[in-house]
């Protein structure tokens, strides 16, 4: 993968490769666009199959953050970081502090937060070396784990999608399949269960699925079966790429709405393929904005009521985008990107 050509193609401003020999930190920070404000986005610790895979991931994730914040109405740009390697072996306070020093050197152009395999305590370590970090623990004046807010936004996004596609204003009695029972999936399961939703779940980590089964009476299904279930809503809440030319023809749910970033393996074809099958897909960067809305408020002055209201607003935003897509004969993804582009263009002109 050619870095500069990829940056040009996807519109990135800056990509920083970080290496710290003392801790074996290997990280990439991608700043996609700072038109609306500093690039805020989480850091993900993952044992990628290759450096190329890590670069591809961080480029897509950071661009997603630009659109996520723009459509959510936040004065933030898009950025993301990936830390490469075996998290169990490598993640130490020293490594996190080394990462914090790299973030600090960017002088506030990039603000970090947690993502997959990074938690609030990790942000404390990163925060020892930089003030450009959010998602710190409540005990340190932070807003804590953002995933309950991400889940709240997804819950409201599911409501919007169910209203649009199935004409139902209540989720009670519906059946939702959740792929991935980590921080987001588990919190989402709790919200849906409280509304009388029947749940099927899966996770590659059996204990995570079992926890949701025990807490919310969910049925556990094999990881390779979850997308095939005849349910009302399929909710991808694991990692990206679960919607592909292989899985889309097998999906039976009329609605796909979940929290994972980069759900479409091929964003040029998979959004259209879902639409052609009559499946309403909630664009990931719109429905999963609850977390960034929460950490933004930590940065700008925290008020829990305001945060909750803003996150619940995802229901209205998605409802509008579904209607816009119908009116403009395009996919919800295209409608969402158009809205994001218009916001960025207006800011540039101003």
Q: Is the dihedral of CA 270, 272, 276, 277 positive or negative?
A: positive
Site for ligand NAD in 191-230 (CB under 6 A): 202-205, 208, 223
Residue 260 binds to ligand NAD (criterion: CB under 6 A): yes
* Of 53 and 166, CB closest to ligand NAD: 53
Q: What is the DSSP string of 268-315?
A: TTHHHHHHHTT-EE--HHHHTTHHHHHHHHHHH---HHHHHHHHHTHH
Return the number of the residue (194 or 204) whose C-beta is nearest ligand NAD: 204
The minimum distance between CB 21 and ligand NAD, in angstroms, equals: 28
CA–CA gap between residue 137 and residue 298 (Å, rounded): 11
What is the Cα–Cα distance from 165 to 282, expressed in whole angstroms?
Answer: 11
Q: Under 8 Å CB-to-CB from 249, ≥6 apart: which residues?
A: 273, 277
Q: Which stretch binds ligand NAD (CB under 6 A): 9-17, 161-169, 231-239, 314-322?
A: 231-239
Strand order in the sheet with 233-236: 219-220, 198-202, 175-179, 233-236, 255-256, 280-281
310 lies in the site for ligand NAD, by CB under 6 A: no
| β-bridge pairing 255-256 and 77-84 | unpaired
User: Given the complex with ligand NAD, which of 200 and 208 has the nearer CB atom?
Assistant: 208
Q: How many helices (H) and strands (E) does the chain have?
A: 14, 12
Check if the beta carbon of residue 227 is closer than 8 Å to that of residue 250.
yes
Token pair in block for residue 302: 């925290």
For 36, what's the count of Cα atoms within 13 Å in the CB-facing half-sphere? 26
> Tokens 């003030």 appear where?
131
Q: Report the site for ligand NAD in 164-193 (rule: CB under 6 A).
A: 179-185
CA dist., res. 14 & res. 33, Å (int): 9
CB of 176 to ligand NAD, least distance (A): 15
- The yes or no reply on residue 69 touching ligand NAD (CB under 6 A) is no
Q: How far is the CB of 56 from ligand NAD (least distance, A)?
A: 15
Q: Which residue among 147, 200, 235, 331 contacts ligand NAD (CB under 6 A)?
A: 147
Cα separation of 331 and 169, whole Å?
22
Q: How far is the CB of 202 from ligand NAD (least distance, A)?
A: 5
Judged by CB under 6 A, which of 146, 157, 271, 332 binds ligand NAD?
A: 146
Q: Least distance (Å) from ligand NAD to the CB of residue 128?
A: 22
- The only residue of 62, 143, 150, 200 in contact with ligand NAD, by rule CB under 6 A: 150
For the question of residue 80 being annotated catalytic, the response is yes
User: Whose CB is nearest to ligand NAD?
Assistant: 182
Nearer to ligand NAD, 306 or 346 (CB): 306
Residue 243 — φ and ψ, nearest 5°? -105, 110
In the list 239, 257, 307, 318, the residue contacting ligand NAD (rule: CB under 6 A) is: 239
> Is 104 or 308 the residue whose CB approaches ligand NAD more closely?
308
Binding string, 262-301, against ligand NAD, x = CB under 6 A?
--------------------------x--x----------
Residue ranges in 78-117 that form contacts with ligand NAD under rule CB under 6 A: 115-117
Catalytic residue among 80, 91, 306, 316: 80
**Tokens representing residue 208 in the block:** 């995570």
The residues near 6 (Cβ < 8 Å, ≥ 6 apart) are 12, 55, 56, 59
Number of chain positions touching ligand NAD (CB under 6 A): 28
CB of 225 to ligand NAD, least distance (A): 11
Q: How far is the CB of 324 from ligand NAD (least distance, A)?
A: 23
Three-state DSSP state, 192: helix
Chain residues that interact with ligand NAD, rule: CB under 6 A: 115-117, 146-147, 150, 179-185, 202-205, 208, 223, 237-240, 259-261, 288, 291
Catalytic residues: 80
């Amino acid at each position: 993968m050619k870095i500069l050509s990829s940056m040009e193609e996807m519109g990135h401003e800056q990509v920083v490769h970080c290496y710290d020999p003392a801790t074996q930190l290997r990280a990439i920070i991608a700043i996609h666009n700072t038109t609306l404000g500093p690039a805020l986005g989480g850091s993900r610790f993952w044992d990628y199959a290759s450096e190329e895979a890590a670069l591809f991931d961080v480029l897509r994730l950071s661009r997603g953050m630009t659109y996520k914040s723009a459509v959510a109405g936040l004065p933030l740009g898009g950025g993301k970081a990936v830390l490469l390697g075996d998290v169990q072996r490598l993640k130490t306070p020293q490594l996190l502090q080394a990462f914090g020093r790299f973030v600090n050197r960017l002088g506030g152009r990039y603000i970090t937060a947690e993502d997959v395999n990074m938690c609030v305590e990790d942000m404390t370590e990163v925060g020892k070396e930089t003030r450009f970090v959010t998602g710190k623990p409540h005990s340190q004046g932070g807003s804590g784990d953002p995933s309950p807010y991400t889940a709240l936004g997804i819950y409201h996004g599911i409501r919007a999608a169910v209203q649009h596609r199935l004409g139902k204003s209540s989720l009670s009695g519906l059946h939702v399949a959740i792929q991935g029972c980590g921080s987001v999936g588990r919190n989402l399961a709790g919200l849906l269960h409280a509304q009388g939703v029947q749940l099927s779940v899966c996770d590659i980590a059996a204990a995570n699925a079992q926890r949701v089964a025990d807490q919310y009476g969910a049925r556990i299904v094999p990881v390779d079966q979850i997308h095939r279930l005849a349910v009302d809503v399929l909710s991808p809440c694991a990692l990206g790429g679960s919607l592909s030319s292989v899985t889309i023809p097998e999906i039976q749910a009329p609605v796909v709405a979940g929290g994972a970033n980069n759900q479409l393996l091929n964003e040029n074809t998979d959004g259209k393929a879902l639409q052609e099958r009559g499946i309403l897909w909630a664009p990931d960067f719109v429905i999963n904005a609850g977390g960034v809305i929460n950490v933004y408020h930590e940065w700008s002055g925290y008020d829990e009521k305001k945060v909750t209201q803003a996150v619940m607003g995802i229901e209205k935003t998605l409802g509008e985008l579904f209607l816009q897509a119908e009116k403009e004969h395009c996919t919800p993804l295209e409608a969402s990107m158009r809205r994001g582009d218009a916001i960025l263009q207006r800011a540039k002109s101003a």
